[in-house]
């Protein structure tokens, strides 16, 4: 397995109503990121701490889950088309009490 950089481990932040609600809760803020399929919890923790070292965040916990592909169907004039959504992996990162990431605060 190749060594992943922090930018390769964290693909993008997930901006949904549920993730924004988790980020705003006190005392521990939880942030959701789309991560590389081969990244483990230790790599995710190190990547978040490295990418947000300006804000001096300390990661307390990491929960990882993989969303499975789902079948999607849609109809057109020529008939029904079936396809699948892309499977992806996300991590919910819990920061120490009182810490937050400013990127999520403006959303």
In the chain, where the domains are located: 6-97
pTM: 0.86
CB atoms within 10 A of CB 35: 28
Just give the CATH number of 6-97: 3.30.70.330
Confidence of residue 92 (pLDDT cuts 50, 70, 90): very high
What is the pLDDT confidence band of residue 79, given thresholds at 50, 70 and 90? Answer: confident
Q: Which of 7-11, 51-55, 60-64 has the lowest mean pLDDT?
A: 51-55
pLDDT, average across residues 13-30: 89
Residue 32 sits at φ, ψ, to 5 deg, of: -110, 135
- pLDDT at res. 63: 97
Please state, for a pLDDT cut of 70, what percent of the chain lies above it.
95
- Strand 10-13, strand 30-35: pairing: antiparallel
How far is it, in rounded angstroms, from Cα 43 to Cα 73? 36
The burial class, CB within 10 Å (0-12 / 13-18 / 19+), for 33 is: buried
CA 48/CA 104 separation, integer angstroms: 14
């Amino acid at each position: 397995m190749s060594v992943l950089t922090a930018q390769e481990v964290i693909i993008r932040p997930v901006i949904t109503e549920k993730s924004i609600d988790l980020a705003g809760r006190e005392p521990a803020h939880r942030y959701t990121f789309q991560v590389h399929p081969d990244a483990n919890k230790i790599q995710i923790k190190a990547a978040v701490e490295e990418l947000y070292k300006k804000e001096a965040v300390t990661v307390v916990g990491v929960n990882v889950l993989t969303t499975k592909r789902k079948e999607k169907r849609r109809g057109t004039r020529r008939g029904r088309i079936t396809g699948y959504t892309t499977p992806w992996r996300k991590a919910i990162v819990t920061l120490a009490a009182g810490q937050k990431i400013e990127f999520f605060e403006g959303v």
